[in-house]
A and B are shown apart, each in its own frame.
Chain A
């Protein structure tokens, strides 16, 4: 079997820990809150209208015969319900968000201000193009920045998230192979063991076959493993590689990897999820990349993780540019911006259309605002500070935790669970961080490191905030090394105690159902 060693305890250790101390179930000002179906009744409503007299239904035979079953709530009940739920959320606006590879950086308020300008916020994608020239120019301007920062000649702006951008890049590769008449012969895509899970999924979705390359002891692509995979070349479609990779390390052999894959007749897809570590320092175009998505919601500070939609523009090399998806913006000689929507003329070789309209316009405004407010030098400094912050965390914690690899890291610090005493796991450390007021780090990923803990502080955090976080994690790590069993009961202070993920997966309850009237009466 494919051996995944990242299994972890997914059931609470002891049900005795689940007791609640207050009558209301609230913990101080952290109020207990039921489902909306549990707090609402059919008898209340926020809109109290008199029953109309002499009402004649006009719905014929299609009028609803049963009540909808939706709870009726008054306005204050509704407001409190969602306010209480929102207070259970953790957000980048509340504190450091150390999720590795997620790049939870501050979302500048200036971005929000500009995104709300009526000329951007109140337009419709089906408006005549002559009335939205400014918006089209903004897309074109952002595209120019993305091409400049990556050193790539073309960009597809419409992909709506990271994996969608991967899909765009891999579809462009497939279309290029179709044009070469080799789509049937070249099916194999090489993917390193440390890859984001979306990489192999994207390759398979595009009809390719995934072939895994091993990592070496330094956490990078094992060049011998790669060369062995390239002994046969006539079935190679390409490689998908993240750089910096998911171990938070720069792939130092990336240029040779690009040369090898090109010599084999394949294309180089670079997963740009971690581009935020190298903006202004390295241009992927100089490394031989053929396609790379850029997460505006990571690198360029637009909100994500429930705060907003992703956006994954995908830069393309000259070899792949003709196959870019429609629509895209071009500037005609008379200075008018025009949307190319049909697969003809400039777009006759396009692989097709991925989305209804132009992409995430609101995110485009925010990303360009971030770029223009920082300037080229500011973007470079943001990358450098992100790397500095991650290395500060690694340096502060390496005496109590076990760095997964030797040497400096890039934008995220990776630790294994080697320092923990028997019986204490990564999950116990992660849950204990919740009690300290932090969202846990990425855990048990990447798969190539046992009990992985991946921490990405981003450049947004001050040294004081990094120290506060490190103090908490250092204390937990010391207890983990000493075998402190109380860690296994964490979280103690969260709205919910440790959940039974095993039962949730084996017997999922996905829908609220009305409790049996008899059993309610009996209580």
Chain B
């Protein structure tokens, strides 16, 4: 890759709206209409209705069928999608969205303010926990006319707009859901959205086919006739499918990181690692503070210093993603680049363990900690094996336990673990995706809450300040302070700012344009001849 996307972004940062016409057209390639994009989806989603299911693969495929009011650039600037424009009242309470006039659902019915209000106030709050938490802050939802929506909040909420991406709040047709059980309505099996592609066929275990929606609101688009998602369960078979040209593109976790260098070396393929800025998954050693050794801040600091994050990023992930420096990923808003975890230093780690009173026995073991391996593929097993090696160097015996996805989720949710690996989406803003792991009000027996049980009143107060503050500046101050405290106390031991490789044949144009990458609608993706 001669020029990274990030470099290109810097060049065009002054004109965010122009970014969607970046790569291909900047290189002078005119969009070509026609052709079918073949790619892979893994694991197979249970249903394609966003909201009813919000797994990664569901969001990728259904992101072509549904759309949100706005979408986000890699720098998380909002850009128009179903809303042409939007404004915020001076009291920071009322968000007014002007909707596009000519948008139709795939069943031919027009999309209006009624559908938007239904999606925001009824559909998503009923089925999706994240939408429930945020949209409950809405006091009034009104439609002054058929193409205007005014949402008035009970109190100002600065990150509100981030909730209107298709992956968080897809606009669904009110007439197909109203008055029914949203999870079992027939439309869940035949999803109807406003997106550039409509659902055509799904042979379970085999493929999902989406077809061009002829009445799409952008004239002449989408360029592709169809997108076919093949379901290929084995990672080596996926790699072969890409290498032999049986599919044109892979995304997310399709290709294992250790296979990425070989893909980079192939002249017909291109590898992106950006397009995940909106999600910014951060991985960490999940620590349960109810385990006496792990409740001691010195032990957590020692573990953190005994790990070489550069090694993990370069030798395990082969440069896909980068070392974490603090609890907020560098691509998430309010990341403070000046707050950094102390570096790799096994001797300092040993001193910290000495100070914590953990002395080595005759075998050189200070303490034994159990570790639940994340059952999401071989790369995670390799990571846990590396951690065992590194911690053994400082006298901590990490005892690995294998499990499957069902047991893992149950045991994390029930606090039945000592350490594990977890990675969590940050959704662009610490209030949306970081706070939940550290505030004591969110200590729950449910996955992706503060399952570790960390509790610090000062941290609680700072997150609350940042949540309620009206301006970005006030929020930034609170988040900077919280990052300092968390880096000092390492309640979770952060490892990597993760990214996932999007690998595609060079004839595929524009596959990664937004901060949501392959989750975008793909109305501007085309194939060169």
Pairing of A with B = no
Interface residues of A (CB under 8 A from B): none
